[in-house]
Amino acid sequence: MELSANAKINLTLDILRKREDGYHDLQMVMQAVTLADTLTVVPARGVEGQALSDLHFLPTGGKNLAQVAAAAFRQATGLGGEVDVSIQKHVPVCAGLAGGSADAAAVLSAMNRLTGAGLSPTELAKIGEQVGSDVPFCVLGGTALAESRGEVLTPLAPLPPCHIVICKPPFSISTPQLFGRVKVKKIVRRPDTAGVIAALEAGDLTGVARRMYNVFEDVLEPRRLSEINSIKAALIDCGALGASMSGSGPSVFGLFDQKNRAQEALERLTKGYRGVFLCGPAGPR
């Protein structure tokens, strides 16, 4: 069975409070995009399932999120055997684009079909919670408000058709370190989440793009922030209606209403970066 595993971007990312359990309550408008890995899921040839990809540094056994998801499915339903998963990675790793979570969600969906379990997307998303906090969103796809740790989802009106340029600078940012640096009461700038939701309902792409923001941008190290800002500036200069960092970074994206402008941004950023992609919004899975 062949499936695509769509990445996500954060149109907004806000941190509301630190909880007593050490986690943070988040509020994020998430959007699935057509940038995707391709997975093939088949019954395992050996005793234990493998997860093979074209990236040599990813785990190949039970630690690959694709296999973690398969195990979570078997545990929750009592159905299905070991599976071999082949992954063609197109989504950059450790990029704030939930590539691993997308692979996990695709495997949950494959297992659901292969076993005939017939679970609803909401039931599959619930199983996904144990695998990672972005997995439930990746199961549902489309456009959604994600709250709590990201697993409490409310579907939203779709992002109007547009062109999305994503650029991943060649460094990674530690998510725990970023959370460690956030002082919730000191956050000065926040995204206009309610405004973004209203603009989605009105089908107003410019209104969405102008209100996007990610509070993690406030706590980046100065040299990282300056690189993120220079990518944002290049996107805006090429005609993006708005630009922001996705998740815990470092990927930056811009929303365009005109394909030729997006193409120009792609070409310009490709001169300085290897991980540059032109894609669009993806609907629910």
Active site (catalytic) residues: 8, 134
Considering only residues 235 to 274 of the shown chain, the ones binding ligand ATP according to CB under 6 A are 247-248
Q: Give the SS3 label for residue 187.
A: coil
CA-based end-to-end distance of the chain: 16
Backbone dihedral angles phi then psi of residue 100, each to the nearest 5 degrees: -65, -40
Query: Closest approach of Cβ 66 to ligand ATP, in Å?
Result: 5
Please give the Cα distance from 52 to 91 (Å, whole number).
Answer: 15
Cβ closest to ligand ATP, residue 92 vs residue 254: 92
Query: Closest approach of Cβ 206 to ligand ATP, in Å?
Result: 26
Q: Which amino acid is at 24?
A: H
Q: Which one among 23, 42, 59, 115 touches ligand ATP, defined by CB under 6 A?
A: 59
CA distances from 146 to 45, 57, 141 (A): 38, 30, 11
Query: Closest approach of Cβ 77 to ligand ATP, in Å?
Result: 21
Please give the Cα distance from 159 to 283 (Å, whole number).
Answer: 9
- Strands 2-18 and 213-214 come out as parallel
Q: Is 84 an interacting residue with respect to ligand ATP (CB under 6 A)? A: no
Considering only residues 87 to 146 of the shown chain, the ones binding ligand ATP according to CB under 6 A are 87, 93-101, 103, 134
Binding mask 142-181 toward ligand ATP (x if CB under 6 A, else -) reads ---------------------------------x------
Query: Which residues face 14 on adjacent strands?
Result: 27
Point out which residues bind ligand ATP (CB under 6 A): 58-59, 64-66, 87, 93-101, 103, 134, 175, 247-248
